[in-house]
């Protein structure tokens, strides 16, 4: 514990004493983290929007003529057992007829045809995770079709395919932009930390000469990387929160990053900073080693 | 304690000449040895070989249980902690105070208890007469004071070997003699001291043994006086 406190104090000293490099590094990092946070915000809202659309995915199952209410209830029970299914609603023939007649402006279908022509039907809605999975609706439809007494299953095939395709494209686009932003964060972190290391090269050289282990030299830099990264990510979140009013004006109904996402963002940035520091410091440390000279045989 | 067995050294690069050539010698516990020679004689390289800052091109260097031929990279810090290094250009960390510079070596060895750090650091600063300047940064000290701070740093973890590379090179003769006096006291308290210098007069005055190097070759190895009886640390 005491050792960790010592290394944290050392890292803070590097942070504090390298004011110029630290400040410009934090600024540059805040900019790229802000971009990354924007991507996260977009992803979060796209996911929400997609979930809302996908929740409208439903199957209408029409039963064969002659399948009575008992058979309809039996099928309702069987379909309810599928893992993908959230709810199965039995649509009463009389209710359906009344609805159609209402839509037709009070025209009596029964008077015209002599009987209620509508079959028993079921409306099946999916769980949110299944609704989000492309192809889930199609495969469930084909399974239900194989049941005896099922005449037809319809679900707006074309609409569902377009929706799935667009959501896939949108997700890939946000992932690509997010990946680019993450790479930028890493590059800026590497450059910043390399500059800090170069600024302390002489100290590191002295430390190596008096017997410091690589771990002793490396640890404050790793902590510094994490500190710089997490403080920049925090600033980026503050900026994002400040810009919320703008988002609300342009995108009413848009949701801000939930606390769990913010916490993950900060934690991830710390890990990212430590990793970048490791990648940056390790070769620099090695380069301070004595160059291997020619061994004469 | 320190053995050079047929050591040759040359650096990678266009210059083909040996910096050290066929050095065979040993330094015993408690000796105060001066490496004498003009610039380029190989004195600094000799000291760098002891701490394995450089590796021999041929032959081997043995320091206590460490052997240049077999030592693993991760054991080199351990070897260096057995040595205290003093340089002509002091090599103090500029943004740490004198006390922090000295304490850093202890912290490096795992001593993190504040009271122990303070006690040990102040003990050694007293010993080199720099206690009053403990809160100063190196840039505010004279050359002699910086060298005394560097000596305090070299002594604080009680190494068994002290290596000094031209420790009086940047100092006036009076201050140089004072620094040598401190090193002599360190030697009298039991440490083996190796000093690289081109100042023959200082070497004659303070050394037990003189090793003369010229163009990388051993020219003379002369004992001036018997090494002192080892006494308790003062």
Which 3 state secondary structure label does DSSP give B168? coil
Contacts of B128 (CB under 8 A, 6+ apart): B148, B149, B151, B152, B155, B182
A210, A216, A290: residue with CB nearest B55: A290
**Interface mutation target, options A3, A12, A16, A210, chain B, most CBs of B under 10 Å:** A210
What pLDDT is attached to residue A293?
39
Which 3 state secondary structure label does DSSP give A244? helix
B12, B53, B112: residue with CB nearest A294: B12
Other Cβ atoms closer than 10 A to B221: 13
Q: How would you label A84-112 residue by residue, b for 16+ Cβ within 10 Å and e otherwise?
A: bbbebebbebeeebeeeeeeeeeeebeee
Phi-psi region of B123 (alpha: psi -120 to 50; beta: other; left: phi over 0): alpha
Same domain, A40 and A177: yes
Same domain, A141 and A170: no
With vertex at residue A214, the alpha carbon angle to CA A213 and CA A218, rounded to the nearest 5 degrees, is 125
Record: contact A296-B85, CB cut-off 8 A: no
Instruction: State whether residue A292 sits within 8 Å of chain B by CB.
Output: yes
Asked, for residue A293, whether it belongs to a domain, the answer is no
Instruction: State whether residue A288 sits within 8 Å of chain B by CB.
Output: no
CATH, residue A130: 3.30.70.3040
Please identify which residue in the block is written with the tokens 């380029």.
B40
Strands (E), A27-143: 58-63, 85-91, 121-126
Domain count, chain A: 2
What pLDDT is attached to residue B229?
61
Smallest CA–CA distance, residue B226 to chain A, in Å, is: 30
Record: contact A291-B12, CB cut-off 8 A: yes
Contacts of A295 in chain B (CB under 8 A): 57-58
Average model confidence (pLDDT) for chain B? 88
Asked, for residue A269, whether it belongs to a domain, the answer is yes
Contacts of A297 in chain B (CB under 8 A): 58
Phi-psi region of B115 (alpha: psi -120 to 50; beta: other; left: phi over 0): alpha
DSSP summary character for residue B167: T
With vertex at residue A10, the alpha carbon angle to CA A26 and CA A25, rounded to the nearest 5 degrees, is 10
Asked, for residue A296, whether it belongs to a domain, the answer is no
Mean pLDDT of B99-109: 91
Same domain, A117 and A195: no
Whole-number percent of chain B with pLDDT over 90: 45
Same domain, A168 and A47: yes
Measured between CA atoms, the residue of chain B closest to residue A297 is B58
Smallest CA–CA distance, residue A225 to chain B, in Å, is: 20
**A193 pLDDT more than 70:** yes
Instruction: State whether residue B112 sits within 8 Å of chain A by CB.
Output: yes
Please give the C-alpha separations between residue B17 and each of B6, B35, B80, B220, in angstroms, as whole numbers. 16, 20, 28, 21
What pLDDT is attached to residue A16?
77
Which of residues A112, A127, A154 is at a domain's end?
A154
Mean pLDDT of B132-157: 91
Helix axes A259-287, A19-54, angle to 10 degrees: 140
- The first and second tokens of residue B90, run together, are 């002091």
Dist CA B169 CA B90 (whole Å)? 10
Smallest CA–CA distance, residue B175 to chain A, in Å, is: 24
Contacts of A49 (CB under 8 A, 6+ apart): none
Asked, for residue A120, whether it belongs to a domain, the answer is yes
Same domain, A270 and A198: yes
Contacts of B108 in chain A (CB under 8 A): 207, 210-213, 216
**Interface mutation target, options A204, A211, A282, A290, chain B, most CBs of B under 10 Å:** A211
A133 or B198: which leads in pLDDT: B198
Instruction: State whether residue B8 sits within 8 Å of chain A by CB.
Output: yes
Contacts of A190 (CB under 8 A, 6+ apart): A276, A279, A280
CA-based diameter of chain B, in Å?
Answer: 53
Q: How would you label B164-179 residue by residue, b for 16+ Cβ within 10 Å and e otherwise?
A: bbbbbbbbeeebbebb
A295 or A134: which leads in pLDDT: A134
Record: contact B112-A290, CB cut-off 8 A: no
Q: Which of A90-94, A144-148, A212-216, B87-91 has the lowest mean pLDDT?
A: A90-94
Contacts of A282 in chain B (CB under 8 A): none
Asked, for residue A78, whether it belongs to a domain, the answer is yes
Instruction: State whether residue A216 sits within 8 Å of chain B by CB.
Output: yes
Other Cβ atoms closer than 10 A to B114: 10
Do residues B34 and B47 touch, judged by C-beta distance below 8 A?
A: no
**B232 pLDDT more than 60:** no
Same domain, A147 and A168: no
Mean pLDDT of B200-225: 89
Same domain, A47 and A62: no
CA A145 to chain centre: 34
Which of residues A103, A133, A154 is at a domain's end?
A154
User: Hey, what's the torsion of the CAs at B45, B48, B50, B54, to 10 degrees?
Assistant: -90
Asked, for residue A159, whether it belongs to a domain, the answer is no
Asked, for residue A294, whether it belongs to a domain, the answer is no
Measured between CA atoms, the residue of chain B closest to residue A205 is B91
Residues A211-259 pLDDT 10s: 888 888 999 989 988 988 999 999 999 998 888 777 777 777 778 888 9
DSSP summary character for residue B111: -
What pLDDT is attached to residue A238?
92
Record: contact A209-B51, CB cut-off 8 A: yes
- Would you place residue A180 in the very low, low, confident or very high pLDDT band (cuts 50, 70, 90)? confident
Whose CA is closest to B97, among B147, B127, B143, B133?
A: B133
Mean pLDDT of A57-64: 84
- Would you place residue A296 in the very low, low, confident or very high pLDDT band (cuts 50, 70, 90)? very low
Same domain, A110 and A178: no
DSSP summary character for residue A290: P
Mean pLDDT of B137-145: 91
Same domain, A142 and A7: no
Contacts of A203 in chain B (CB under 8 A): 93, 95
Which 3 state secondary structure label does DSSP give A160? helix
Do residues B184 and B206 touch, judged by C-beta distance below 8 A?
A: yes
Contacts of A202 in chain B (CB under 8 A): 94
ipTM (interface pTM)? 0.84
**B15 pLDDT more than 70:** no
Q: How would you label A129-140 residue by residue, b for 16+ Cβ within 10 Å and e otherwise?
A: ebbbeeebbeeb
- Residue B7, CB-side half-sphere exposure with 13 Å CA sphere: 31
Which of residues A133, A154, A175 is at a domain's end?
A154
Q: Which of A5-14, A143-152, B10-19, B81-90 has the lowest mean pLDDT?
A: B10-19
**B193 pLDDT more than 90:** yes
Same domain, A72 and A41: no
Same domain, A189 and A280: yes
Do residues A36 and A185 touch, judged by C-beta distance below 8 A?
A: yes
| Structural domain range at position A185 | 2-51+164-287
Dist CA A270 CA A147 (whole Å)? 54
Same domain, A172 and A257: yes
Do residues A227 and A12 touch, judged by C-beta distance below 8 A?
A: yes
Asked, for residue A295, whether it belongs to a domain, the answer is no
Measured between CA atoms, the residue of chain A closest to residue B54 is A290
B11, B80, B110: residue with CB nearest A209: B80
**B233 pLDDT more than 70:** no
What DSSP string describes A27-38?
HHHHHHHHHHHH
């Amino acid at each position: 514990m005491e050792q960790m406190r010592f290394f944290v104090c050392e890292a803070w000293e590097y942070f504090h004493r390298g004011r110029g490099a630290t400040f410009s590094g934090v600024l540059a990092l805040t900019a790229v983290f802000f971009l990354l946070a924007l991507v996260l915000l977009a992803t979060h809202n796209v996911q929400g929007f997609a979930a809302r659309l996908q929740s409208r995915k439903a199957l209408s199952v029409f039963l064969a003529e002659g399948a009575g209410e008992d058979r309809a209830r039996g099928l309702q029970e069987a379909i309810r057992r599928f893992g993908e299914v959230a709810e199965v609603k039995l649509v009463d023939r009389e209710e359906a007829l009344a609805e159609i007649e209402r839509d037709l402006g009070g025209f009596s279908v029964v008077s015209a045809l002599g009987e209620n022509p509508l079959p028993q039907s079921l409306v099946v809605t999916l769980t949110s995770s299944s609704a989000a999975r492309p192809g889930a609706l199609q495969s469930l439809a084909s399974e239900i079709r194989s049941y005896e007494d099922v005449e037809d299953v319809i679900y707006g095939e074309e609409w569902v395919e377009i929706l799935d395709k667009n959501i896939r494209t949108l997700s890939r686009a946000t992932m690509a932009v997010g990946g680019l932003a993450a790479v930028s964060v890493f590059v800026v972190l590497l450059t910043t930390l390399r500059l800090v290391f170069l600024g302390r090269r002489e100290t590191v050289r002295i430390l190596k000469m008096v017997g410091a282990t690589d771990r002793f030299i490396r640890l404050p830099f790793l902590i510094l990387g994490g500190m710089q990264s997490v403080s920049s990510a925090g600033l980026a979140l503050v900026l994002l929160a400040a810009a919320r009013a703008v988002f609300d004006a342009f995108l009413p109904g848009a949701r801000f990053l939930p606390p769990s996402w913010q916490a993950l963002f900060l934690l991830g940035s710390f890990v990212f900073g430590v990793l970048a520091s490791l990648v940056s410091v390790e070769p620099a440390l090695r380069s301070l080693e004595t160059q291997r000279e020619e061994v004469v045989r | 304690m320190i053995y050079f067995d047929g050591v040759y050294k040359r650096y990678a690069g266009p210059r083909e000449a040996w910096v050290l050539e066929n050095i065979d010698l040993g330094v015993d516990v408690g000796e105060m040895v001066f490496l004498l020679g003009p610039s380029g004689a190989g004195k600094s390289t000799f000291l760098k070989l002891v701490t394995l800052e450089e590796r021999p091109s041929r032959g081997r260097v043995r320091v206590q249980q460490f052997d240049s031929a077999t030592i693993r990279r991760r054991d080199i810090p351990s070897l260096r902690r057995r040595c205290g290094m003093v340089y002509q250009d002091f090599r103090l960390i500029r943004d740490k105070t004198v006390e922090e510079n000295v304490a850093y070596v202890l912290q490096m060895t795992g001593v993190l208890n504040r009271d122990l750090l303070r006690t040990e650091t102040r003990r050694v600063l007293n010993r080199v007469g720099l206690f009053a300047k403990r809160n100063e940064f190196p840039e505010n000290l004279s050359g002699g004071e910086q060298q005394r701070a560097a000596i305090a740093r070299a002594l604080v973890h009680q190494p068994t070997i002290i290596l000094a590379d031209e420790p009086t090179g940047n100092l006036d003769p009076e201050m140089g003699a004072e620094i040598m006096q401190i090193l002599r006291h360190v030697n009298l308290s039991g440490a083996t001291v190796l000093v690289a210098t081109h100042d023959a007069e200082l070497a004659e005055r303070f050394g037990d043994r003189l090793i003369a190097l010229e163009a990388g070759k051993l020219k003379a190895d002369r004992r001036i006086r018997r090494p002192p009886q080892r006494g308790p640390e003062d």
